[in-house]
Amino acid sequence: MTIFDKILAGEIPADRVYENDDVLAFRDINPQAPVHVLVIPKTRWSSLIGLADADPAAAGRFMAGVAATARELGLEESGYRTVFNTGDDAQQTVRYLHAHILGGRKMNWPPG
């Protein structure tokens, strides 16, 4: 069981900012920008590829949830970055699909 499973189960508190039938979004406990929110699907997948291969419609609903979260956070006009870390080389620390939404400041490029 991952920390995200425990958050979904209500075993660990989280500062929830958006939720629908498919996703839960909450503030990151170690923010890397003034706005740093994680968006997770309510069903566990280890990667976006796995979800898209198994259920393309669910992948679309997940991405729609990421967009709805960014809109809810008021980032639509100023801009934001969406990051998916997948696998060891990308420093994925929780093996549960999640998107990072970062905003509230000007981002740098390249990111990594």
Residue boundaries of the structural domains of the chain: 3-103
Mark whether 36 is an active-site residue: no
Which pLDDT does position 111 carry in this prediction? 79
- The pLDDT tens digits of the residues spanning 17-55 come to 999 999 999 999 999 999 999 999 999 999 999 999 999
Q: Which strand ranges, in their side-by-side order, compose the sheet holding 16-19?
A: 16-19, 23-27, 35-41, 99-103, 80-83
Which pLDDT does position 40 carry in this prediction? 98
Mean pLDDT across 65-75: 98
The answer to whether the beta carbons of residues 33 and 103 sit under 8 Å apart is yes
Which pLDDT does position 79 carry in this prediction? 97
Mean pLDDT across 55-73: 98
Mean pLDDT across 62-76: 98
Structure tokens at 12: 């660990």
Strands 16-19 and 80-83 come out as unpaired
- Which residue in the list 4, 36, 69, 98 is annotated as catalytic? 98
Which pLDDT does position 80 carry in this prediction? 98
Rounded to whole angstroms, how far apart are CA atoms 59 and 75?
A: 22
Mean per-residue pLDDT over the chain, rounded: 96
Which pLDDT does position 112 carry in this prediction? 64
CA atoms lying within 13 Å on the CB side of residue 100: 21
Rounded to whole angstroms, how far apart are CA atoms 74 and 109?
A: 22
Q: CATH classification of 3-103 is 3.30.200.190, yes or no?
A: no
